[in-house]
């Protein structure tokens, strides 16, 4: 009888197969460690909506800003707004640089508390920025994603009391529609009660 060559394996073949299995297992372990570390670090970093919420929590309340005699940058934003999220790191840096000279106020358009301001400043896209002078009067508005250099130039001028260089700039926005519209004036005279009765 002849010996079947497929059933016999040489020690060299076993060593090669064993080594290949070890290398494969080692690579799998390295990839698992790298992915686990990336996932852990990814969960530890602050997401842009988290940054917006943190900035809003640290912002100057509107009532304080209108009464402290400093100029104000008021931002209408929402946590879901991708343009707001994109601008958040730059605005945080600008706040660190100019927060002593200028109030940074953030009003979330999803909070119905700010509806009077939303209607007053005609907010129909976000981010929407309103620049207020020392007395709280609106002197300029911009809407949409703004380059940091434009925002910084406006903040420098605002803190100096100079005319803002970029008052009509516009960028990418997230659509927003106020949940209500301003009330229309009544056409009936409130003193004529009997005329409102229908028989």
pLDDT tens track, the chain, 199 positions: 455 555 566 777 778 878 888 888 888 988 888 887 776 665 544 445 688 999 999 999 999 999 999 999 999 999 999 999 999 999 999 999 999 999 999 999 999 999 999 999 999 999 999 999 999 999 999 999 999 999 999 999 999 999 999 876 555 556 666 666 555 554 554 444 444 444 4
Query: What was the pLDDT predicted at 123?
Result: 94
Catalytic residue among 60, 65, 84, 118: 84
Catalytic residue among 55, 78, 81, 151: 81
Q: Three-class SS of residue 121?
A: coil
Q: Three-class SS of residue 49?
A: helix
Give the whole-angstrom CA distance, residue 62 versus residue 93.
21
Give the whole-angstrom CA distance, residue 152 versus residue 17.
64
81 is catalytic: yes
Q: Is the peptide bond before 39 cis (omega within 30 degrees of 0)?
A: no
Select from 62, 85, 182 the least CA-distant residue to 132: 62
84 is catalytic: yes
Give the whole-angstrom CA distance, residue 37 versus residue 21.
24
Question: What is the topology classification, in CATH, of domain 48-175?
Answer: Glutaredoxin (3.40.30)
């Amino acid at each position: 009888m002849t010996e079947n060559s497929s059933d016999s394996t040489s020690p060299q073949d076993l060593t090669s197969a064993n080594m290949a299995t070890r290398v494969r297992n080692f690579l799998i372990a390295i990839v698992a460690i790298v992915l686990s570390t990336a996932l852990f670090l990814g969960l530890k970093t602050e997401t842009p909506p988290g940054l917006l919420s943190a900035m809003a929590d640290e912002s100057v309340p509107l009532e304080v800003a209108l009464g402290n005699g400093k100029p104000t940058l008021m931002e209408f934003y929402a946590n879901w707004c991708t343009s707001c999220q994109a601008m958040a790191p730059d605005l945080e840096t600008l706040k660190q640089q100019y927060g002593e000279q200028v109030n940074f106020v953030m009003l979330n358009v999803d909070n119905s508390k700010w509806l009077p301001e939303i209607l007053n400043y005609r907010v129909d896209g976000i981010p929407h920025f309103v620049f207020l002078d020392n007395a709280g009067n609106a002197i300029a508005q911009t809407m949409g994603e703004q380059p940091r250099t434009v925002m910084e130039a406006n903040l420098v001028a605002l803190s100096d009391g100079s005319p803002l260089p970029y008052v009509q700039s516009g960028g990418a926005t997230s659509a927003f529609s106020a949940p209500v519209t301003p009330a229309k004036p009544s056409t009936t005279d409130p003193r004529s009660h009997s005329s409102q009765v229908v028989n």
